[in-house]
Amino acid sequence: MSVTKGKKGLLCLFCLSLLLSLSGCEDARFTPLEDYEEEYEAFGSFDVRELGEQVEGYWTYYEENKRQKEHIAQELTKWKTEYLKPGEYTVGRDIPAGLYICKTAGNASEDNAVVRYKEDMKLGEELSTQYYRFDSESYILLREGGVLTIGKGTKMSFADDKAPSLAAEKDGIYYSGSYRVGEEIPKGEYFMLSFNLDYGASMVYKNGERIAGGVTRFGYVVIDDARIINMEEGVLIPLDKKPSVRPIQYQGEGEGEGRQVYSEGIYKIGADLPPGTYKIKNELYRSVTDLSYEGYHGNEAYYPRRANRAGIRAEEDEDARHFGWSWLELDCNISNKTRYLKTHKLYGDEEDTFQKFKGLPTVTFTEEDMGWQIRLVNCVLIPEEDGGKRR
């Protein structure tokens, strides 16, 4: 994989190791402001019509997810059970260990539960203190000796042999719900789609607030060491049933206008993003066209001089070690004529590096990068006409 700056024919800055020379750039222009530390995704501002075009069959999955959620809710109403009252319980003394079903009672500020275990208990990958919040029905698996605190907005009951399953599986596809790993969902790697229409992100949780995986729009998640998982507003699709990921028509102005481009999401090189050379275009500041569709999409919080991240991120540590960097970050201070590309090195003593660029920098992925993952953040990749022939 290689990265170049500026227009066609300029010097290649680095290959594979991406060694960039320091150009005197102030690192501050790449640092999010304190009042916006959560960065772009927390504010929404994407057009869901893009996601519908990016992933084949997206709206079919979306409608089936709604049906599955309604079915689980109906089954729970039929379940004759007695919910625990808010308060504190010792597992094994006050209540039995095992699987519990939880749901919100409608008070968003108090729909929670906390489980605390002694530090000397052998919990494996689990945390000694586990926090749960409920936007929908969820599983909690309690061990003997834990201390459970139930919030006033939470309904929680032991899952007896008459309890409904919270698994929302249909035709080998796993929709929003809760699953016992190994029983209701196999371990393995899945393609994940987000149904969160507010800002596009969806998470899979295990053992409280620990994240088993998550995506912005779409990507890949591995389910391995969890005993249970809870997933809201998403779907897990086995790789042998994975839908195709497609480029979309760019309707923004300037370079790339009218072209097929790759927008935000998590891509596997080869499977989703063909090897080749791509121009990287910052899409963080767009008040009229947000990425590719015309219209207002709630993006007023962003304007020139706000330094929030845009660029390409190596999705996992293994991907970063392969590429030799964790981020290729575009300078978002578009009011300045001089722009910089920042290469975030791997964790350790190696310093990040900066390079000036004009026009749009380019990145090249080769067959050696097949199978490795990248995340596009607030940018689009524009294929070069001869990108498939360059190395």
* Averaged pLDDT of the chain: 76
* Residue 192 clears pLDDT 90, i.e. is over it: yes
Asked whether residue 41 carries a pLDDT value surpassing 80, the answer given is: no
Report percent pLDDT > 70 for the chain: 69
Chain-centroid distance of CA 383 in Å reads 24
What value does the mean pLDDT take over residues 82-96?
A: 91
The pLDDT score that the predictor gives to residue 205 is 83
pLDDT of residue 210: 67
Q: Lowest mean pLDDT: which of 91-100, 118-127, 128-137, 274-283? A: 118-127
User: Sorting pLDDT into bands at 50, 70 and 90, what band is 196?
Assistant: confident
Residue 9 CA to residue 64 CA, distance in Å, equals 49
- Asked if the model's pLDDT at residue 239 lies above 90, the reply is yes
Give 165's contacts (C-beta < 8 A, 6+ positions apart): 75, 184
Handedness of CA 311, 375, 214, 126 (dihedral sign): negative
Does the pLDDT at position 115 exceed 70?
yes
Q: Return the pLDDT at 368.
A: 97
Residue pLDDT, tens place only, 294-350: 333 333 333 333 335 688 999 999 999 999 999 898 876 555 566 778 888 876 667
Q: For residue 235, give the DSSP letter.
A: E
Q: Note whether 129 and 207 are within 8 A (CB).
A: no
Pairing mode, strands 218-223 and 154-158: unpaired
Say yes or no to pLDDT of 388 above 50: no
Please tell me the predicted confidence (pLDDT) of residue 112: 75
Residue-level pLDDT at 64: 96
- Is the model's pLDDT at 285 over the cut of 60? no
Q: What is the pLDDT of residue 18?
A: 35
Q: Which range has the worst mean pLDDT, 69-83, 180-194, 338-352? A: 338-352
* pLDDT band at residue 42 under the 50/70/90 scheme: very low
Contact 285, 305 (CB under 8 A): no
pTM for the whole thing?
Answer: 0.78
The contacts found for 284-287 with CB under 8 angstroms, 24 or more apart, are 284/40, 284/308, 284/310, 284/332, 284/378, 284/379, 285/332, 285/334, 286/252
